[in-house]
């Protein structure tokens, strides 16, 4: 009974954020002269109106879920990992190059590409953790700044050494992957691919790991009470680097499944423009870093994005209304983050600690 009350209490803030977001969106709809009921009905149809729209929403949610899980793990361990965007981009680039150049059958290329993406994202994230452990460099700042290095490095790689020069397109991109190296679709003729299964399984595994293993307990203890964890013999530096590696590896996996399952090549800017990384962070914070809740929140955010496109197609209400709703969610997340940071600052938490 106590656990049920705690779970319901944890849902209160996300539900309140959604209700307020929809209310503010309704005000914006009225201002532009639209019908609230018609607009929200079209938004629902655009996200879940039929099987085609449902698969589109789940496909868009896939990288958001994986990134959110990685951020959730880091936050549970007590560390800010704000470098998911760079980790995702490096993972996507590594996966594309592995799928292109690793010899062998398609299944081997897929496995090699997924592992390459995980390792690239994990190493980039662990590097930020090492800088914190070795030189006490603020993890929040280093992860944010490393995003720019990763994004510009990937841009250079597909603009010059690995650019596709076989066609007349001026885009900075790699060559197309061979079709056997594409992730299989879950349903023929639809966009949803095996990456979504990986994301759901990842959420379940992460939940079980944090809840039922010794290392999971140590991660939760380090994030919840660092001083008590140090008294208990938990080594902050080693656990931080390991947690950051897994966190970045999940972000790298997000980029990998997008390349292998949706784009079939690495395209400069194609992963940063949709804002997958920041949506993943927002999903994590909305769910209080709960792995299963993060997956649900990621699907909700993806539905707002795909539903907003359907709303714009079928009504006179612009897509920006969907952005307004997301902005309200961000305000709630920011308020929660700020309050948590102030509390930990007062408690004497070290730089780089998270929620």
User: How are the residues of the chain apportioned to helix, strand and coil, as percentages rounded to the nearest 5?
Assistant: 75, 0, 25
Would you identify the CATH topology of the domain 51-346? ABC transporter involved in vitamin B12 uptake, BtuC (1.10.3470)
Are the C-beta atoms of residues 244 and 129 closer than 8 Å to each other?
A: yes
The whole-model pTM stands at 0.92
| pLDDT score for 54 | 97
Q: How far apart are CA 326 and CA 155, in angstroms?
A: 28
pLDDT digits (tens, 9 = 90+) for 202-252: 999 999 999 999 999 999 999 888 888 888 888 889 999 999 999 999 999
**Under 8 Å CB-to-CB from 178, ≥6 apart: which residues?**
99, 100, 106, 109
Going by C-alpha positions, the residue among 352, 304, 310 that lies closest to residue 328 is: 304
Q: What is the pLDDT of residues 96-151, one digit of tens each?
A: 999 999 999 999 999 999 999 999 999 999 999 999 999 999 999 999 999 999 99
DSSP class of residue 180 equals G
- Which run of H or of E encompasses 196? helix 194-212
Percent of the chain with pLDDT over 70: 91
């Amino acid at each position: 009974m106590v656990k049920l009350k705690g779970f319901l209490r944890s849902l209160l803030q996300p539900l309140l954020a959604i209700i307020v977001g929809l209310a503010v969106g309704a005000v914006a709809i009225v201002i532009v002269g639209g019908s609230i009921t018609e607009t929200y009905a079209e938004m629902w149809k655009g996200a879940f109106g039929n099987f085609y729209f449902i698969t589109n929403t789940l496909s868009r949610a896939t990288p958001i879920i994986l990134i959110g899980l990685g951020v959730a793990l880091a936050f549970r361990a007590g560390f800010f990992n704000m470098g998911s965007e760079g980790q995702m981009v490096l993972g996507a680039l590594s996966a594309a190059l592995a799928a292109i150049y690793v010899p062998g059958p398609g299944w081997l290329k897929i496995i090699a590409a997924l592992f390459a993406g995980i390792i690239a994202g994990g190493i980039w994230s662990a590097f930020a953790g090492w800088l914190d452990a070795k030189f006490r460099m603020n993890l929040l700042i280093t992860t944010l700044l490393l995003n720019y290095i990763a994004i510009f490095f990937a841009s250079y790689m597909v603009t010059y050494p690995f650019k596709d020069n076989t066609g007349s397109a001026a885009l900075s991109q790699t060559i197309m992957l061979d079709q056997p190296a594409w992730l299989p679709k879950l349903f023929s003729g639809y966009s949803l691919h095996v990456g979504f299964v990986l994301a759901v399984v990842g959420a379940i595994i992460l939940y079980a790991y944090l809840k039922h293993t010794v290392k999971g307990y140590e991660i939760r203890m380090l994030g919840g009470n660092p001083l008590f964890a140090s008294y208990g013999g938990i080594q902050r530096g080693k656990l931080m680097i390991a947690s950051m590696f897994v966190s970045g590896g999940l972000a790298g996996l997000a980029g990998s499944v997008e390349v292998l399952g949706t784009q079939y090549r690495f395209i400069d800017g194609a992963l940063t423009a949709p804002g997958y990384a920041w949506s993943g962070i927002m999903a994590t914070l909305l769910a209080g870093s709960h792995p299963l809740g993060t997956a649900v929140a990621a699907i909700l955010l993806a539905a707002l994005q795909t539903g907003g496109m359907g709303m714009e197609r079928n009504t006179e209400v612009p897509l920006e209304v969907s952005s307004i709703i997301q902005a309200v969610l961000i305000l709630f997340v920011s308020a929660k983050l700020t309050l948590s940071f102030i509390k930990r600052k007062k408690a004497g938490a070290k730089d780089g600690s998270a929620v």
